[in-house]
Structure 1
Amino acid sequence: MIDIRSADSRGKADFGWLQSRHSFSFASYYDPAHMGFSDLRVINDDRVLPRAGFDTHGHRDMEIISYVLAGAIRHRDSTGTEEVLRAGEFQLMSAGRGILHSEYNASDSEELRFLQIWIEPNQRGGTPGYQQKDFGMAPGLTLVASPDGADGSLQMRQDARLYQLMLAPGDTLEFSQQPGRCSYVHMVKGQLELADSQLGPGDAAKVSELAAYSLRNVGREPLQALLFDLA
């Protein structure tokens, strides 16, 4: 079964300095039909004005992934970590028993755009952790996060895997889904044909009860997406 979530149907938030689109219920946006998918709880598409950002705030018991699409994030947290996360880089912050952090647009002139992703962990408490990496732009599927840190991926506290999908125009990839698992595909850019469904930027698809499905770039530009393999 394939269930499409169109970009235009997502929740919206406008704070002036922040424009956000919510794939799942978040903050003041509530939709009982979109509370998450398996252990995937949040995908926010955030645009932040120059010099603006999120003041210090806390999280616990959540795997928080940030993926920068444009600009740069200046990150600081209570573990002593201070980093700049640039376009193309992924960050995984394991909140564990509790962490405080702030995120700001690192530029004085350019807009920051990033995806904020929350995955519920399979263990509570534990020591907070921070990981950051640029996985490049290799074609096909690149493993970004996994429960065991396989292939140099970021290690998260959940039986889930996050892949970066890159396809040149006309290229097709077959994804095999293990029995009892499901997947979620979130489009970043380009035009995707997923089985018999068409997806554009910001669109997403919940895929369940399929042993395999095809992913094809039907556009004229390189395609970029995230694919979550979930229990």
Structure 2
Amino acid sequence: MKTILHKSDSRGDANHGWLHSKHSFSFANYYNPERMNFGALRVLNDDKVSGGMGFGTHPHKNMEIISIPLSGDLEHQDSMGNTTVIREGDIQVMSAGTGVQHSEYNKNKDEEVAFLQIWVIPHTQNVTPRYDQITLNKADRKNKLQQILSPNQNDAGVWIYQDAWFNLTDLDAGKTVNYTMNKAENGLYIFVLEGSVKINEQQLDRRDALGIIDATELEISALEDAYVLLMEVPMDLA
């Protein structure tokens, strides 16, 4: 098993006033040749947007774009005709495919919105753009794994054009979950949203991440109450 440790304070830091973003991988003005991606996981941005502010209409193409709100209300509009609001407990996915334009704004004037913006490189190019959004049951992740994304339309969570699986878990201190890889050749990128966990004697604290390659199963133990996102993605993009 090989591991790659990304401490919280090693991420790129972009503060634009209305937007404060932490970049796990190279993005916009943050460039680190050693932090371009983790396999098919290309972008993991930890974004906070001030009240009433947001991202104006902009294009995307051939990328799977996933948004996971952490607090507040984020309003989405796109060229497919969707106008929606996503909130904590939701997950949103957009397959950009042949091309789509969208905007994202903090719906509220008096409070911040925080969300994760995640990009996954798809295995199929130039698909018809699509949009989906669901509300997750938080109880389904209490001291267990909750699948929130997969390649399969009929599975729990949303789906994307890639052999990727995302899970959330909300662990009480002292509790443990075991993760088994869906595909042996995939890698697993674990991002601690809150709290502290231990994985194979490696302690991860809030916003730390650990990439794991060449593993079939691993154990995650909560050193204190912890909220964790697990992203299994292909490592070979050929």
The bucket for the TM-score relative to the shorter chain is: over 0.9
**Deviations 1:64-119 (CA, angstroms, capped at 9, x unpaired):** 00000010101000000000101121100110100000000011101010000000
Match for 2:159 among 139, 155, 158? 155
With structure 1 as the length reference, what TM-score do the two structures score? 0.96
Matched with 1:60 is 61
Matched with 1:16 is 17
- Give the whole-Å Cα distance in 2 for the aligned partners of 1:2 and 1:196: 12
1:48·1:112 contact (CA, 8 Å) conserved in 2? yes
Q: Which moved more, 1:150-159 or 1:108-117?
A: 150-159
Following TM superposition, by how much is the alpha carbon of 1:151 offset from its aligned partner in structure 2, in angstroms?
3.0
Matched with 2:173 is 169
- Give the whole-Å Cα distance in 2 for the aligned partners of 1:17 and 1:134: 27
- Give the whole-Å Cα distance in 2 for the aligned partners of 1:191 and 1:88: 21
Matched, 1:210 2:215: yes
Q: Which moved more, 1:145-154 or 1:53-62?
A: 145-154
Matched with 1:146 is 150
Alignment of 1:76-225 (within 5 A): 76-137=77-138, 138=140, 139=142, 140-177=144-181, 178-219=183-224, 221=225, 223-225=226-228
Following TM superposition, by how much is the alpha carbon of 1:165 offset from its aligned partner in structure 2, in angstroms?
1.8
Would you say how many aligned residue pairs link Structure 1 and Structure 2? 229
- Give the whole-Å Cα distance in 2 for the aligned partners of 1:41 and 1:179: 20
- Unpaired segments of 5 or more residues in structure 1? none
- Give the whole-Å Cα distance in 1 for the aligned partners of 2:223 and 2:200: 12
- Give the whole-Å Cα distance in 2 for the aligned partners of 1:215 and 1:42: 24
Amino acid of the structure 2 residue aligned with 1:155: W
Following TM superposition, by how much is the alpha carbon of 1:146 offset from its aligned partner in structure 2, in angstroms?
0.8
Q: Which moved more, 1:210-219 or 1:6-15?
A: 210-219
Following TM superposition, by how much is the alpha carbon of 1:150 offset from its aligned partner in structure 2, in angstroms?
4.0
Matched with 2:3 is 2
1:135·1:142 contact (CA, 8 Å) conserved in 2? no
SS where residue 8 of structure 1 aligns?
helix
1:60·1:96 contact (CA, 8 Å) conserved in 2? yes
SS where residue 105 of structure 2 aligns?
strand
Amino acid of the structure 2 residue aligned with 1:144: I
Amino acid of the structure 2 residue aligned with 1:164: L
- Give the whole-Å Cα distance in 1 for the aligned partners of 2:230 and 2:130: 23
Amino acid of the structure 1 residue aligned with 2:229: L
Q: What RMSD over aligned residues (CA atoms) do the two structures have, in Å?
A: 1.0
Match for 2:231 among 218, 228, 231? 228
- Give the whole-Å Cα distance in 2 for the aligned partners of 1:94 and 1:54: 18
Amino acid of the structure 1 residue aligned with 2:70: L
